[in-house]
Structure 1
Amino acid sequence: MSKQAKQADSEIHEDQLLNFLVNRLDEEVSLTLANNAEIDPEDIHEVLVGATADGTSISTLCNSSKESPPANTILYHLRTKFEPERLERVANKPLRRDVVELLPEQVEVCADLHLRSYYGDEDNTEGLYHSEAKRGTTAFHAYATLYARVKNKHYTLAVRRLEDGDTASSILAEFLGVLDGLDTGVKAVYLDRRFYDSKCLTLLQAHNYAYVIPIIWWGETIQQELSEGWSRVIEHDLTGKLDGHSWTVEFSVYIDCTYLNGRYDDHGVARHGYAADAPFIETPRDARYHYSKRFGIESSYRLSEQAIATTTTRDATVRFLYVVVSLLLQNVWRYLHYEYVATPRRGGRRLWWLARSTRQSIPHSASIAVTSRSSWCWS
């Protein structure tokens, strides 16, 4: 069957997509402006969405049209009208608002921690996240994302900005709370290696979620296990401490060995260890296979960089706002495409590229033009 025969008749143009997103922001993120303000909240949201979709800065977008609001006015409101705590509270509601109905009865979820290096003034790092040195700095713009993986498509369910005092276990506790509140079941939770510690493993066991986490070579015992032998399953434990009390969490480690002559060590053997507890994982190869599927698509935060407003600001709240809108744009695109365009077929609907068109304007008072992006192919 030809591609044209399989494709649905309907199309979604960028003006429809972006207007839908602007309406979502207007509904969920209320802004209070002065009575004599020359712009309204919708203008701010339209410029914010337009810059995100176009992958450009607020200043560039505003300066491209004589009828647009002044860039300094928009940037002022972005810095002053979005309180950090309130933004984090309301950010996740629009992310989940539409996509939860697209989730199957059992869903696989992934969680990532992302650190973006900060190289600014060392005395001006309030609101940033400090961690061990990486790429010449210990200060980072840091974010955590929780997303569902459905037939090689992903839907972001939650995003969280990290600050000093946040730990992997505190973030995981929040994300597990999100999962507990879903109407769908959770088949398994796939976490990146930063979640490998005694507290996170204890949380997963307490919530009775199936999980897979790559292990870190902590301690002589596990280092020895991962430096010799062939594929096998071993029992391991980690000790945690909290408020003077200690406990031990026990779990299975699946050690999978791969061989490729001359690529790894002198014997050509690479050993991958995974802390795992899932009914569908019986062998080390199962653990590695299922965990590797989380990389079948880009992680949610890395994928968001395909369409995100650019900026040089050091304001952590503004940068987080850009991340939220970028992730929301992806979710809205998949939701609208699935509901109105995607072609039903065996194995799941097929999502098509967003149709490219000539420059169109989002219909609002400023008439800011938004260029369609060929990178909008999130399938």
Structure 2
Amino acid sequence: MIIAIDLHHQPYYGKPQKGLFRGKAKQGTKKFWSIATACVVERGEKLTLAMAPVYNNRMEDTLDALWPQLQSKGIRIRRLLLDRGFYSADVIDWLQSRNVPFLMPMICRGKKPSKNSPGTGTAQFMAPGRRGFTTHTWKKRRSKLQVTVQVAIVPNPKTKQKTPLLYAYHGRLPNLTYCRELYRKRFGIETSYRESRHCRAWTTTRKENWRRFLQILSFILANAWALLTLGQQKKPWRERLTQQHFQQQLIELLDLPTTQVLTQEPSVAIT
């Protein structure tokens, strides 16, 4: 299976609490209830298979938390798709030591090539018009850890952008076009976050356990809707089961007040 792993940050505006993730300012706050998920992103499927809370920026800890859940399901990973937030020597070493095929964007660091210099770091691969496969080796700062990673230098599909796209990978890639199209599948996990957000109840509680429960429940509901709609892509729009209709049927089944139907913006307040 092709699996994507990413982080979902739910903004928090209250007093500091245990279990919060502190990151860059976004949506007016630096505090988040963050969760990492592993999601299937092939054949139109967007099923979340594993979840784990995130407390820090050590992405190798996130992989450590998700990996046992994936292994317990007996999943054979053909390719792991990660975003640039996972690009670090520790993460690459973690993946290579387990021989996990992966694909992620490289962060541009160093001097860009010029007439008098070939460039340094990963910026040396950013020469306009350059393409192909190569390798890159670097040593982690203040550490003895050194990693070597394969690099795909992919032409940018945007005609006005002459600088190529850079991807770090492990495992076989047949060609550059396949590399670019493969990574585009990763955006299926962003869709899973949007669908789960539509299912998540709103709450003002500061309790971490309750917050995590609502997050997990929202992904379970999104999975249920995704499973019920498998194979409906060829049906006319009017005949498909929409997420809102699924939620309405679920509420009627549970015999809840109709005023608690979840819409685009969560309307259920739980304190």
Regarding TM over 0.5, the answer is yes
Residue aligning to 1:223: 123
Rg comparison, structure with higher value: 1
**Match of 2:156, SS?**
strand
Q: What is the CA deviation profile of residues 297-345 of structure 1, one whole-angstrom value per residue up to 9, with x for unaligned ones?
A: 634323311221123444443332221111001222334555xxx5799
Residue aligning to 1:368: 257
- Matched AA of 2:213: L
**Which runs of 5 or more structure 1 residues have no equivalent in the other structure?**
1-106, 346-350
- Matched AA of 1:238: W
Q: C-alpha root-mean-square deviation of aligned residues, in Å?
A: 3.3
Residue aligning to 1:283: 175
- Matched AA of 2:88: D
- Matched AA of 2:241: W
Residue aligning to 1:186: 77
210, 230, 241: which one aligns with 1:353: 241
Structure 2 Cα separation of the partners of residues 293 and 363 of structure 1: 35
Structure 2 Cα separation of the partners of residues 361 and 316 of structure 1: 29
**Match of 1:362, SS?**
helix
Residue aligning to 2:164: 271
Structure 2 Cα separation of the partners of residues 301 and 343 of structure 1: 21
**Structure with the greater relative contact order (CA < 8 A, sep ≥ 6): 1 or 2?**
1
% identity of equivalent residues: 25
Note if contact 1:210-1:276 (Cα within 8 Å) is conserved in structure 2.
Answer: yes
- Matched AA of 1:234: T
Residue aligning to 1:304: 196
Residue aligning to 2:268: none
Residue aligning to 1:251: 149
- Report the CA distance between 1:136 and its aligned residue: 5.3
**Which runs of 5 or more structure 2 residues have no equivalent in the other structure?**
112-120, 266-271
- Report the CA distance between 1:270 and its aligned residue: 4.0
Structure 2 Cα separation of the partners of residues 362 and 202 of structure 1: 49
Residue aligning to 1:334: 226
Match status 1:111 vs 2:2: no
Structure 2 Cα separation of the partners of residues 127 and 161 of structure 1: 8
Note if contact 1:109-1:149 (Cα within 8 Å) is conserved in structure 2.
Answer: yes
Note the 1:1-379 alignment, pairs <5 A: 107-121=1-15, 124-134=16-26, 137-164=29-56, 167-220=58-111, 221-240=121-140, 246-258=144-156, 260-261=158-159, 263=160, 268-279=161-172, 281-296=173-188, 298-336=190-228, 352-354=240-242, 356=245, 361-363=252-254, 367-369=256-258, 371=261
* CA pair 354-225 structure 1, distance change in 2 beyond 3 A: closer
Note if contact 1:113-1:194 (Cα within 8 Å) is conserved in structure 2.
Answer: no
- Matched AA of 2:155: C
Note if contact 1:239-1:248 (Cα within 8 Å) is conserved in structure 2.
Answer: yes
- Matched AA of 1:240: K
- Report the CA distance between 1:258 and its aligned residue: 2.0
- Report the CA distance between 1:112 and its aligned residue: 0.3
* CA pair 291-344 structure 1, distance change in 2 beyond 3 A: closer
Dislocated runs of 4+, deviation >6 Å: 357-360, 372-375
* CA pair 119-334 structure 1, distance change in 2 beyond 3 A: closer
- Report the CA distance between 1:158 and its aligned residue: 1.3
Note if contact 1:179-1:186 (Cα within 8 Å) is conserved in structure 2.
Answer: no
